[in-house]
Amino acid sequence: MSSSYDFDQRGHLVAPPRVRPRLAQAKPSARELSLAPRRSLAPLPRPLAPSPKPSDLTLDRSRDDLLTSFGKLTLSDRYLLAGEGVQDMFARVSCAFADDVAHAQRLYDAMSRLWFMPATPVLSNGGTTRGLPISCFLNSVSDSLEGIVGAWNENVWLASNGGGIGTYWGNVRSIGEKVKGGVTSGIIPFIHVMDGLTLAISQGSLRRGSAAVYLDIQHPEIEEFLEIRKASGDFNRKSLNLHHGINVTDEFMHAVRAGSAFALRSPKTNETVREIDARQLWQRILENRLQTGEPYLLFIDTVNRALPKHQRELGLKVSTSNLCSEITLPTGIDHRDEERTAVCCLSSLNLEAWDQWNEEEGFIEDIMRFLDNVLTIFITVAPDGMKRARYAALRERSVGLGVMGFHSFLQAKGIPMESVLAKSFNLNMFRKIRRDADAASVALARERGPCPDALERGVMARFSHKIAIAPTASISIICGGTSACVEPIPANIYTHKTLSGAISVRNPHLAKLLAAKGADTSAIWQSIIAHEGSVAHLDILSEREKAIFRTAFEIDQRWIVELAADRAPFICQSQSINLYLPADVDKWDLHMLHWTAWQRGLKSLYYCRSKSISRAAFAGKISDGDKVAAPQPQRTDYEECLACQ
């Protein structure tokens, strides 16, 4: 590769006159891979064209009416600048990350029509100097004191700039292993320090420090790691403010199937430290998930098999995920002996508005251009404490285009989630989204140059990854109260607390149906509240209508796994998939749901949400099929990561 190639501040490949860029497989030069200039948070640079201004756009303030009162309250409480209206915010964000005025106008129109919504860090900080437009990070800890302290320091920087962090600890030797001058104290005390740092770092008025830690299933400290969020025991070995996830291997799942022993191995030497009964460990994991909602599960071999070919050829590997288990990007030392802290830039399409935008030519390309520009701005303005994140963002330029409103779309169409028609729409939607995102990546690579990871392997791709399905709890509220992510609705009516007070939220599609039947009355809604948001008791509804408006806990969870598995081939990263289960779930059903998720190719599972999160321990073997003992009430903390919403 000629050393005369370079990348400008917007991430565009620049070649000298009369030189044709070669997609060679040799290592790019240092100059070619140089990071954008380090800058403090300052007005966003526009080296190639003047930044569009909100005054250049035609705003339609009547589109405020597309938002619910709850959505407007949410924006006012959290995201609007002083004196800013809803349409002004959409214009500000559109202009901050647009190619030109025409692109900004299209982005504004799409955003103000609620066709898509950027993640909240983009809404909050786009076009301002108060923070970064990306706050989703993943990093790894190396097996040395220097590496551990370095990870702590980096996490302080990431959290102080609004970051939600996923950190991998699987490289660090377990307790009692030999080191120079003695033996190790293991990972648990070091994770405890990270817990304290996370709690201490403020993320401003919008969010506090938030982090998750991940560990391999074969790590010798996996059993104690499972317990770090439980308050009982030695406080100095607990991390109550962190979330945790486990990298589950195919080898382990095969050991569970066989009922055999499973080796826990040293991360340093790969030698077996001890063996454990695989089924007993699996049962403990499932028990913890039902009791506390966690750990998240990352099926790590499935993830790495699906890594883009050019990244596999470079020897890159995924070892962790993020706070919401949908981001799967390489971290740690790469093939150039550089440290990567993965970064992902997120936005979500509103599937409830599918009929309005799915035939709109260039719509998804416009959003991919928007995300590419967000990445470039981050690379340009991120502080020195984020140099590893800046490097990773420049090398792979991964983004996460997601969705929301899937269940709302089905309800608007009168389609139960548990139906073949829902499967058909699911497949068609994600096939189209992936096809258009892939096309946009190629088009942008031809226009601006491939990302360096792809360039090094001769691949014409602007983005290494394009699709990730994040939770969207906040932005779905903004988008007219549509259903979050690909999730089923939790209830047909609920009360949500905001900074401005409590507000009652009703399912608009159910309200429309009840109104048509002359039954949209306070008495009916009170009865729905009394039945925990369910309509199963309403005689005025047909059985099909009741099926359409089943809540998350009423839907057969096999359909959640089935729909997730169907869309999985079109998602290059992962999905935030929750399971909704009663506390007395049959333990065979609990096992089979998780087992099927792995078998069908899901890359991760997020929370296991239970109406009561504490129950007696498992008794007997996986195949016994009896009911779990009665639960004892306990509080659940299903914290959502605002970095992904």
pLDDT in tens, 335-391: 999 999 999 999 999 999 999 999 999 999 999 999 999 999 999 999 999 999 999
Would you say residue 7 has pLDDT above 90? Answer: no
Question: Residues for the chain: how many in total?
Answer: 645
Range with lowest mean pLDDT among 19-28, 159-168, 479-488, 589-598:
19-28
Q: What DSSP letter does each residue of 249-267 carry, written as one string?
A: -HHHHHHHHHT-EEEEE-T
**The residue type at 476:** S
Catalytic residue among 177, 287, 294, 326: 326
pLDDT greater than 70 at residue 178: yes
Quote the CA–CA distance of 574 and 400 in Å, as a whole number: 9
Work out the angle at residue 64's Cα, subtended by the Cα atoms of residues 58 and 69, and round it to the nearest 5 degrees. Answer: 165
Quick one: which of 197, 221, 224 has its CA closest to 211? 197
Residue 604: pLDDT over 60: yes
Other Cβ atoms within 10 Å of 271 Cβ, number: 9
- The model's confidence at residue 104, banded by pLDDT at 50, 70 and 90, is very high
Split at pLDDT 50, 70, 90, the class of 460 is very high
pLDDT the model gives residue 161? 79
Q: Which of 139, 155, 171, 322 is catalytic?
A: 322
Whether omega before 50 lies within 30 degrees of 0, making that bond cis, reads no
Per-residue tokens: 213: 């830690």
Distance between CA 357 and CA 432 in Å, rounded?
12
pLDDT surpasses 60 at 73:
yes
Q: Rounded to whole angstroms, how far apart are CA atoms 394 and 382?
A: 12
Question: Which stretches does DSSP call E strand in 192-234?
Answer: 202-203, 207-208, 210-216
Residue 572: name the closest of 308, 250, 324, 247 by CA.
Answer: 308
| Residue among 242, 249, 243 nearest 216 (CA) | 249
For the chain, the C-alpha Rg in angstroms (whole number) is 24
Report the mean per-residue pLDDT for the chain: 88
> What pLDDT sits at residue 131?
87
Q: Is 324 among the catalytic positions?
A: yes
Kindly give the residue spans of alpha helices, DSSP state H, lying in 324-419.
354-357, 363-381, 387-396, 406-413
Nearest to 34 by CA among 380, 316, 373, 312: 380
Q: Parallel, antiparallel, or unpaired: how do β-strands 6-7 and 13-14 relate?
A: antiparallel
| One-character DSSP codes across 302-344 | HHHHTS-HHHHHTT-------TTS------EE-TTS-EE-EE-
Bridge partners of 494? 505
Q: Coil, strand, or helix at residue 642?
A: helix
- Sorting pLDDT into bands at 50, 70 and 90, what band is 495? confident
- To the nearest 10 degrees (0 to 180), the angle between helices 86-96 and 101-112 is 140
Question: What is the structure's pLDDT at 204?
Answer: 45
Neighbours of 146 (CB within 10 A): 8
- For the cut 60, the answer to whether the pLDDT of residue 615 exceeds it is no
Count of beta carbons in the 10 Å neighbourhood of residue 637: 12
Helix (H, G, I), strand (E, B) or coil at 579: strand
- Are the C-beta atoms of 326 and 275 separated by less than 8 Å? no
Average pLDDT over residues 71-96: 95
* pLDDT tens figures, 12-28: 544 333 333 333 333 33
Per-residue model confidence (pLDDT) at position 162: 76
Which pLDDT tens digit goes with each residue over 526-554? 999 999 999 999 999 999 999 999 999 99
Tell me: pLDDT of 613 over 80.
no
H and E: helices and strands count for the chain? 23, 24
Q: Assign 552 to helix, strand or coil.
A: coil
pLDDT of residue 502: 78
Per the annotation, the verdict on 428 as an active-site residue is: no
Give the pLDDT confidence of 197-225 residue by residue, as tens digits. Answer: 988 885 443 456 589 999 999 999 999 99
Q: Is the pLDDT of residue 76 over 80?
A: yes
| Distance in angstroms (rounded) separating the CA atoms of residues 538 and 471 | 30
Write down the pLDDT at residue 21. Answer: 35
Whole-angstrom Cα distance, residue 296 to residue 262?
20
- pLDDT confidence of residue 202: 54
Q: Which residue has the tokens 């068609």?
A: 428
Both tokens of 612, joined, read 């009561």
| 95, 324, 572, 644: the active-site residue | 324
Long-range contacts of 24-28 (CB under 8 A, 24+ apart): 24/458, 25/456, 25/457, 25/458, 26/1, 27/1, 27/336, 27/456, 28/1, 28/452, 28/455, 28/456
Domain boundaries, the chain: 136-305
- Mean pLDDT of the 412-438 span: 99
Residue type, 595: W
Task: Please state the rounded mean pLDDT for residues 1-8.
Answer: 40
SS3 (DSSP) at 496: strand
Q: Catalytic annotation on 326?
A: yes
pLDDT value at residue 355: 98
Beta strands in 175-306 (DSSP E): 178-179, 182-183, 202-203, 207-208, 210-216, 243-248, 261-265, 272-277, 296-299
Domain 136-305 in CATH 3.20.70.20? The answer is yes
> What is the per-residue pLDDT across 221-273, written as a single tens digit (0 to 9) for each?
999 999 999 999 999 999 999 999 999 999 999 999 999 999 999 999 999 99
